[in-house]
A = this chain, B = another copy of it.
Amino acid sequence: MLDVKDKTGADLTLDDMLAARARIAPYIHRTPVLTSSFLNDLTGAELFFKCENFQKAGAFKVRGASNAVFGLSDEVAKRGVATHSSGNHALSLSYAAGRRGIPCHVVMPHTAPQAKKDAVRGYGGIITECEPSTTSREAVFAEVQARTGAEFVHPYNDPRVIAGQATCSAELIEQVEGLDAVIAPIGGGGMVSGTCLTLSNLAPGMKIYAAEPEQADDAARSFRAGHIIADDAPVTVADGLKVPLKENTWHFVSHFVTDVLTASEEEIIDAMKLTWARMKIVIEASCAVPLATILKNPEIFAGKRVGVIITGGNVDLDSLPWIK
């Protein structure tokens, strides 16, 4: 059997998702699906919110991180894992490594908010600080890897990670019958790629939409152009969605995504606040982008049964985008 690590996105099969599902089951939640009659009335659609904000470590990223960590041989695992994300992937990888009892190294700029450093340490991650530049980050990361031999787990371009994220939509289509479409936010494309892997195999007629901030619309532009276009330092409230597609996620986006829809900053913040107010759940700005695009494109979604992936709930409660 080929190790998923040596695959590309194009080589991933349903078996990789099924193996991931069995592997990570002890370490993650089967998250609930919530509905809101208010939002159904408002959109004219039937919306089914897959609440990964209730997931371990507060985000879907724990699926991919756990699949990577628990798929390692003991020999490799004992040297630990490493990443240079400072967001939900760092928390999730730290959590998964902690469950396996191996070290997790996270390279972060010393300028990162104290709250992010505390959160990573709270899940047991070992932080090595770098200067806030790509050059420094890469140099420090190379040093950490050379010193520890830790296995690099990329936040989204890693096929092990994509196979893990694919378990989310497998649960969703078991929890809700007869969906017409699924929509998820897109940054680097890990969740969307996993969704494509699962649905193209298990529900080939189902439409797959990716939702993106207008101000970080590299996936939308890539989708129209037919090749990867990366944004140069985009600025958006949806801070989980600033990163560009890479070859393994581009494979899925270019082959299986129905469309990439975008929303403005104001529309994203309004949809975020509306979700908090009406559904009583704490979601990140990134997760509000799908609802924002549904509200904006009623002609696509009205009358349809739509799965909406709420990707995470790790929010700085001291700084909310609608409170100035």
Residues of A that sit less than 8 Å from B by CB: 32, 34, 51, 53-54, 58, 273, 276-277, 279-283, 313, 315, 317-318, 320, 322-323
CA distance A315 to B320 in the complex (A): 14
Chain B positions within 8 Å of A283 at CB level: 280
Instruction: Tell me if A323 and B318 are in contact (CB < 8 A).
Output: yes
CA distance A282 to B323 in the complex (A): 16
Instruction: Tell me if B34 and A273 are in contact (CB < 8 A).
Output: no
Instruction: Tell me if B276 and A317 are in contact (CB < 8 A).
Output: yes
Specify which of B58, B276, B317 is in contact with A273 (CB 8 Å cutoff): B317
Chain B positions within 8 Å of A58 at CB level: 280
Chain B positions within 8 Å of A317 at CB level: 273, 276-277, 320, 322
Instruction: Tell me if B280 and A53 are in contact (CB < 8 A).
Output: yes
| Other A-B pairs beyond A53-B280, A54-B280, A276-B317, 15, CB < 8 Å | A32-B32, A34-B54, A54-B279, A273-B317, A276-B282, A277-B317, A280-B282, A280-B283, A280-B313, A281-B282, A317-B322, A318-B322, A320-B320, A320-B323, A323-B323
Residue of B nearest to A312 (CB): B280
CA distance A94 to B53 in the complex (A): 31
| Copies of this protein chain in the complex | 2
Chain B positions within 8 Å of A54 at CB level: 34, 279-280
CA distance A277 to B322 in the complex (A): 17
CA distance A54 to B277 in the complex (A): 11
Chain B positions within 8 Å of A277 at CB level: 282, 315, 317
How many whole Å from A277's CB to the nearest CB in chain B?
6
Q: Which 9 A-B pairs have the closest CB atoms?
A: A280-B313, A280-B282, A53-B280, A276-B282, A277-B317, A276-B317, A54-B280, A281-B281, A273-B317
Chain B positions within 8 Å of A276 at CB level: 282, 317
How many whole Å from A323's CB to the nearest CB in chain B?
6
Chain B positions within 8 Å of A320 at CB level: 317, 320, 323
How many whole Å from A22's CB to the nearest CB in chain B?
22
How many whole Å from A182's CB to the nearest CB in chain B?
21
How many whole Å from A222's CB to the nearest CB in chain B?
31
CA distance A282 to B54 in the complex (A): 12
How many whole Å from A15's CB to the nearest CB in chain B?
31
CA distance A152 to B135 in the complex (A): 71
Chain B positions within 8 Å of A32 at CB level: 32
CA distance A210 to B280 in the complex (A): 24
How many whole Å from A190's CB to the nearest CB in chain B?
20
CA distance A317 to B272 in the complex (A): 11
How many whole Å from A175's CB to the nearest CB in chain B?
13
13 CB contacts below 8 A, A to B, read: A32-B32, A34-B54, A51-B280, A53-B280, A54-B279, A277-B282, A277-B317, A280-B282, A280-B313, A282-B282, A317-B320, A317-B322, A323-B323
CA distance A54 to B49 in the complex (A): 13
Residue of B nearest to A277 (CB): B317
Residue of B nearest to A122 (CB): B38
CA distance A277 to B316 in the complex (A): 8
